[in-house]
Amino acid sequence: MNYRHAFHAGNHADVLKHLIISRIIALLARKEAPFVCLDSHAGLGLYDLKGDEASRTGEWQEGIARLWNADDLPASTDDYFDVLKAMNPDGELRYYPGSPELARQLTRDQDRVLLNEKHPQDGQLLKENMRGDRRVAVHLGEGWHVPRALLPVAEKRALLLIDPPFEQSDELDRCITALNESISRMRQTIVAIWYPIKDERQLKRFYQGLSKSTAPKLLRAELFVHSPDDATRLTGSGLVIANAPWGLEDELKELLPWLAKSLAQSEGNWRLDWLIAE
């Protein structure tokens, strides 16, 4: 396993993923009842954008750096930027939260965060970064086993993020399997699956499989920073969200056009639709 997310931390795909996850957590928190955030491929949890890996690629310069001093931030970005500002109190952008840190900071005392990371070095760093928070548990196992190992949860409300490295050719298929397993074990689970967009033709089978999944409803949200017809590079990324909470679609109708305008590198665009309507 060679993938290290530190090379890509804070890029346009991270921004999309983390903004949507922050909004799902905020919508869940509108009810007092506790919930659990689960992350199957969690990474380090915290990233130094001036560190060796992030400096080598500089991908964050075309992602979060573009938004750091923006004066037209939508209200739906407040929670996300509150976390970022707390991590960078001097106003200089250096530290970036992975999804584990975002979940840790945005959840409440009654909520829990269950994290899994297979990479041995990253898993130990994740444990160190999450140390001291009794609400957080870190597992060092196979991410694809998370649905059957950790669901259902006693809290009856759960958000599961599935964000694999996509090093293997079958990982899109495994995402669908994990979605079906999650829904079968706890039907009301909110399952968010992140995926890269390099060649939309290659994603056609993935979309078809998702539309035939057991999810009660499935929302697709995609952000393009290049033309989707350009198959030579990462043109964008997307999340499909099973059991998307009420209010998320309306928020994304505002957020996605703004992101497409703010993060476009050659040609910005976005898509929001239901693969499975309620």
CA distance 123 to 239: 24
Lookup result for tokens 């090379």 = 7
- Helix (H) or strand (E) holding 196, with range, is strand 190-197
Angle between helices 120-130 and 99-106 (to 10 degrees): 20
- Catalytic residue of the set 82, 163, 230, 250: 163
Lookup result for tokens 């649905």 = 147
138-140-145 Cα angle (round to 5): 100
CA distance 159 to 241: 10
SS3 40: coil
State yes or no: 142 annotated in a binding site: yes
- Number of other residues whose CB lies within 10 A of the CB of residue 120: 10
**What is the per-residue burial (b if ≥16 Cβ within 10 Å, else e) of 1-23?**
eeeebbbbbbbbbbbbbbbbbbb
Instruction: Answer for the pair 188, 156: CB distance below 8 angstroms, yes or no.
Output: yes
Return left, alpha or beta for 19; rule: phi > 0 is left, psi -120 to 50 is alpha, else beta. alpha
Q: Is 163 designated active site?
A: yes
CA 214 to mean position of chain CA atoms: 21
State yes or no: 8 annotated in a binding site: no
State yes or no: 117 annotated in a binding site: yes
194-159-4 Cα angle (round to 5): 40
CA distance 260 to 263: 6
First-to-last alpha carbon distance for the chain, in angstroms, is 38
State yes or no: 18 annotated in a binding site: yes
State yes or no: 143 annotated in a binding site: yes
Could you list the active site residues? Answer: 163
**Binding site residues, as ranges?**
18, 41, 99, 117, 142-143, 163
Q: Binding site for S-adenosyl-L-methionine: residue ranges?
A: 18, 41, 99, 117, 142-143, 163
